[in-house]
Structure 1
Amino acid sequence: MRDQHQGKKPRIPIAGQHVWHWFKKMDVTREGTGYGINPLQPTQIEAWTRQRGIKLTPWQLDAIEALDVLRLQLFFEKSSGDKDTEVVISDRPLSPALFDAIFPK
């Protein structure tokens, strides 16, 4: 997943390609907030598999949960890097005259 996040094609073993495909399908249905994405909840995974008639084996569920942890780490690493840049609203210093012009009495 890190390779894909860096713009490279991911190297998925043949035996796990179906799990990767399932995870990508689940990933686009995940819920989020204004602060980012939420982890896939067990109820979401269970509903997704039930709707498709898929019975996950323990290793498949473990793989999906591990992919989800990595997905969250990559998302928040990228998000935290954006906060290092300072947002410049104005180059002008706020003088009393400018303050009064913006917020008249």
Structure 2
Amino acid sequence: MTPAGQRRLTRLMVKAVRDSVRAGKAPNLPEAGRVLWGAFMALHRTRSYGGLGPNPITYQEIEAWCRLARMPLEPHHVEILTEMDREWLGGGKADPAPRSGITPALFDAVFG
């Protein structure tokens, strides 16, 4: 895949995640992105959650899924998946807010 093609597919897939989060329904996917959408949804279903909410999909989880599903992904596919995940974690907003709002005073209040 050419760098320009990868950038275009990344934009389309991030938009698909944004539209899916906002509308709450299946997005209109480009044909080249259907396998990536399936991979993203499979990984998303196994997402872990912590005290601050959902955790990002890790490279280890992607690698394990590739082995189990016998679905080889190229590095540019993994990059697109992580961009899709970043968009999902941001709630479909154009500029996601910072995830950590912990201040020293808040830390002291919680942990003494």
The normalised TM-score by structure 2 is 0.62
The amino acid that maps onto 2:21 is H
- Root mean square deviation, CA, Å: 2.1
Distance 1:36 1:29, change over 3 A: same
2:55 is equivalent to residue 71 of structure 1: no
Q: Higher helix proportion, which one?
A: 2
Q: Which amino acid aligns with 1:47?
A: A
Moved over 3 A (4+): none
Which structure would you say has the larger Rg?
1
SS in 1 for 2:68: helix
Residue 13 in 1 paired to residue 43 in 2? no
Stretches of structure 1 that go unaligned for 5 or more consecutive residues are 81-105
Q: Deviations over 1:22-42 (max 9, x none)?
A: 101100101111320000111
Equivalenced residues, count: 78
Instruction: Kindly indicate whether structure 1 or structure 2 has the higher relative contact order, using CA contacts under 8 Å at least 6 residues apart.
Output: 2
Q: Give TM-score scaled by structure 1 length.
A: 0.66
Unaligned runs of 5+ in 2: 1-16, 100-112
